[in-house]
Amino acid sequence: MVVTRHNPVHALLYLVISLLSLSVIFFLLGAPFAALLEIIIYAGAIMVLFIFVIMLLNLGKETAKQEKEWLKPKVWAGPTILSAILLAELLFLITLPNNTTSSQQTVDAKAVAISLFGPYLIGVELAAMLLMAGVVGAAHIGQHKKTVLHRFLKEEEPS
């Protein structure tokens, strides 16, 4: 449903529904910490970012009309067939070995935290550096716009 909507806001709403159902699946799998993170970060923070940008770009009915023109059956038939082949291969490979015993244990947040700050401390620091670089890069890219536009206007004025 997310990939076939024409209006971006509708697609976002369907994506939020998908994220919530995925979080319920995480809870069923015995990973309540991951379920909480899924709701808080994905459905909270990232969706707010998307909604903010969509509102900032002022995408509305015109975009939906444009999308309808872009999304013709001639366009999506070929990739869908290729992806269906990929899906069939995945199904075959997953259902091939039938000797797995389903034994699910609940992995609570304490074990995750102990393992996270024990052997995975380097990974945590790398993730922190990645987030820091993301913040700095986003600020830089967002700030760079004004100077570029200004220079662009300055160049256009004499000509």
Partner 1 sequence: MNPSVSIEMILLLAGLLFVLGIVGVIIRKNIIFMLLSIEIMLNAAGLAFVAAGSHWGQPDGQIMFIFILAMAAAEVSIGLALILQTYHQHKSLDIDTLKEMKG
**Phi, psi angle pair for 103, to nearest 5°:** -130, 105
Of 20-59, binders to partner 1 (CB under 8 A) are 22, 25-26, 28-31, 33-34, 37-38, 41-42, 45-46, 49-50, 53-54, 56-57, 59
Q: Among 62, 99, 100, 156, which residue interacts with partner 1 (rule: CB under 8 A)?
A: 100
Max Cα separation, the chain? 75
Give how many residues touch partner 1 by CB under 8 A. Answer: 75
Taking the C-alpha atoms of residue 15 and residue 47, their distance in angstroms, rounded to an integer, is: 9
The label of the residue with tokens 């716009």 reads: 145
- Which two structure tokens, joined as six digits, stand for 69? 């023109």
Among 17, 55, 121, 131, binds partner 1 (CB under 8 A): 131
Minimum CB separation from partner 1 for residue 159, in Å? 18
Query: In the complex, what is the shortest distance from the CB of residue 141 to partner 1, in angstroms, rounded to a whole number?
Result: 4
For residue 33, give Cα distances in angstroms to 36, 93, 135: 5, 30, 25
| 60 near partner 1, rule: CB under 8 A | no
Give the chain's radius of gyration (CA, Å): 22
CB 153 → partner 1: shortest distance, Å? 12
Torsion over CA of 154, 157, 159 and 153, rounded to 10 degrees? 40
Measured from the CB of residue 41, what is the shortest distance to partner 1 in angstroms?
5
Residues 133-152 contacting partner 1, CB under 8 A: 133-135, 137-138, 141-142, 144-145, 148-149
